[in-house]
Structure 1
Amino acid sequence: MKLVGELNKKLIDKPYIHRIELLDRFYKLLDNNELVFVNPDKWEDPLENLIFNSRLIKNGKPFQNPAKERIFSQCWSYEGDSYGIWKIYTTKADDNGEVKRHMGVRITTKLDKLITISKNNPGEFYYGLMDYKWKHEIDKLPKDPRIIDSVKDTIPNVKHIETLLFKRKSYAYENEVRLFSIPDSSLIDSVDKKLCRLKINPLELITSIRFDPGMDYNEFKTHKLKLENDYGFRPSQITQSTYFKKNKYIIRID
C-alpha cells in the first residue's frame, strides 16, 4: 500500500491508526476475513469528493467519469481514545437499519502492516492523510489545474486519489487517514457495486482491540475470552475504553 503525500510528525512518532466498527460488523470482519471498502459516492459530506459530486461538463455536455466507479475507500484515524469519536462513529444505522448509539469496537493497526492488504488482494492500494481546508479554499478547487487534469483522465489512478484527500476544517477533529483501493473487478461486491471486499488476515493486520466504554464489564470479559479462544488474539491485545469508569477521586476537606 503506497503513501500519497506525507506523514505528519504525530504519525511518524507513533505510526498507528484506528477504526471503530459496530460490534456485529466487527465479528463479520473476523469471520469473513475481510475489510469492506465503499465507493466515495456513499460519503455523507457532499464537499469531500469533488470528482464524484461535482457536475462535470465536457465539450458543453454533462459528463460522467467512469473512473469514479472503480475507486473504493475506508476511513481510519490517528486520534487516540476519544469519547467524541466513540459517540460519533457508533451512532449510526446498523445492518438492520436501526439508528441509535450501538456498542462498538476499535481496531488498531500499524502503518507498516497495511502492506498485508495489498499482498492479499489484486489491484492498486494507497493511503493518505486528510487535508482539512476552509470552505473558501475548497471553493477554489474546481478551478485548480491539477483537479481539472485529474478529472480528464478516465482511468482510475493516484491523481484521482489525491482529490479525495480534501475535507472541510469542521471535520479536523477526526484526524483521518484514508485507505484507498482500485481493485481487481473480482473484489467488487456482485450485488452492491458500491462495495469492495478485501481479504485480510485479522491476526496479521490488527495490533490491538478496544471495546466500547459503555459496555458492561462482564460482557466485555465474555468478548475478550471469545477473542482469545476462538480467534487467537493475545490477552494483552484486548482492552476496554475507560471513559465511563466511575469517579473514584477523594477530596479531603477536614
Structure 2
Amino acid sequence: MDQRLIKTLNNETIIWKYLDLSKFLDLLISRKMFLSRSDKFEDQYEGTFSEPTFEEIKELLKNKPDYLSNYKAQRKNIVISSWHANAHESFAMWQIFTKNNEGLAIQSTIGKLQNSVEYQDRAIDLQIGEVNYIDYKKEYIPFTDKYFPYLYKRKSFQYENEVRLIGDATQLNKSVNDGLKIDIDPNHLIERLYIHPRSLNWYKNLVQTIVLRLGYSFEIAKSDLESDILL
C-alpha cells in the first residue's frame, strides 16, 4: 500500500460498499470484484485536472506536446472500485446506492481489502488511496504519480468520504471496455454484511439462505437503523 496515497487511514479503518443483490451475488459466486474504467464515471471531472494544475501542464506541453493525448489514452486503462470510509453505517449511502428498500452493505477494513486482493494477478498494479475533495478553480492536483488525478474530486462530493482500490490494466494488453474483474477472496474481504434496514423479512431470509448455501460464514449483522426504540 503506497503511503503517498493514504494519509489519514490505516489498516483498521472501516470501509463500506453499498450495492444491490445482483452485484453482491456476482461477487460471491465468481469470487471477483468489478472495477469500473475511470473515464466511464458519471462525474465528468473524474481524472481531470484543476485549473492551477492545467496551467502547469500547458507549460509542460511546450516540451512534451503528446502529454495530454497519452494521458487520455491511459485513462482507458485505469480502473477503480469505490468504498465509503466511515466508522458507522450511513443512512445517506443507503439512500443513494440502493433502491426499493433493498440492497446490502459490505463492511470491511483497509487491511481486509488489501489482504483480499493480495494474490491477485500482479500484471495489474493495485493500490488503495483516499480521495481528496478540493476546489478545482483554486487548488492544485499533483500529477507526479499516475494515480494522483484519480484521487481528487470536487468538494460537492465530500459526503462520499471515498476510498478507492485503483489499478492500471495497461500491461494486460487488452481492451478494458466498461471495466474489468479481479480475483477476490470474499472471506478475507467481508467482515460483516448488513441488509437494508427497511427490507421485508422475505428479503432478509433470502439473503441469509443464499450466503449459507454458498458456504460463507461471515456475520450478517442487524442494521443500527432498525434498532428498537427505547422510551
Shared fold by TM > 0.5? yes
Q: 2:28 maps to what in 1?
A: 30
**8 Å contact 2:14–2:110 — kept in the other structure?**
yes
1:73 has 2:80 as partner: yes
24-33 or 104-113, which deviates more: 104-113
Q: Percent identity?
A: 20
Q: 2:191 maps to what in 1?
A: 207
Q: Which runs of 5+ in 2 are unaligned?
A: none
The correspondence for 1:88, drawn from 90, 96, 118, is 96
Q: Distance in 2 between matches of 1:14 and 1:215?
A: 29
1:176 has 2:167 as partner: no
Structure 1 pair 182–201 and aligned structure 2 pair: CA distance change class (3 A) = same
Deviation beyond 4 Å, 4+ runs, structure 1: 56-62, 184-188
Give aligned pairs, total.
216
Considering only aligned residues, what root-mean-square deviation do their CA atoms show, in Å?
A: 2.8
Q: Distance in 1 between matches of 2:90 and 2:170?
A: 36
How far did residue 14 of structure 1 move? 4.0
Q: Distance in 1 between matches of 2:75 and 2:11?
A: 34
Q: 2:222 maps to what in 1?
A: 240
1:6 has 2:6 as partner: yes
Q: 1:117 maps to what in 2?
A: 117
How far did residue 170 of structure 1 move? 1.5
How far did residue 182 of structure 1 move? 1.4
**8 Å contact 2:116–2:186 — kept in the other structure?**
no
The correspondence for 1:63, drawn from 46, 60, 69, is 69
Q: Distance in 1 between matches of 2:36 and 2:92?
A: 23
Q: Distance in 2 between matches of 1:199 and 1:184?
A: 17
Q: 1:16 maps to what in 2?
A: 14
How far did residue 219 of structure 1 move? 2.5
Q: 1:44 maps to what in 2?
A: 42
Q: Distance in 1 between matches of 2:187 and 2:230?
A: 38
Structure 1 pair 198–102 and aligned structure 2 pair: CA distance change class (3 A) = farther
More helix by share: 1
Structure 1 pair 245–109 and aligned structure 2 pair: CA distance change class (3 A) = closer
Q: Distance in 1 between matches of 2:11 and 2:186?
A: 24
How far did residue 185 of structure 1 move? 5.3
**8 Å contact 2:18–2:103 — kept in the other structure?**
yes
TM-score by length of 2: 0.80
How far did residue 3 of structure 1 move? 4.2
Larger Rg: 1
TM-score by length of 1: 0.73
**8 Å contact 2:133–2:158 — kept in the other structure?**
yes
Report matched runs for 1:76-225 at 5 Å.
76-79=83-86, 80-91=88-99, 101=100, 103-113=102-112, 114-122=114-122, 123-138=124-139, 141=141, 146-147=142-143, 150=144, 159-183=145-169, 186=172, 193-225=177-209
Q: Distance in 1 between matches of 2:224 and 2:172?
A: 41
How far did residue 23 of structure 1 move? 1.0
* SS of equivalent to 1:103: coil
Counterpart code for 2:85: Y
Q: Distance in 2 between matches of 1:81 and 1:227?
A: 21
Q: Distance in 2 between matches of 1:222 and 1:187?
A: 40
**8 Å contact 1:48–1:168 — kept in the other structure?**
no
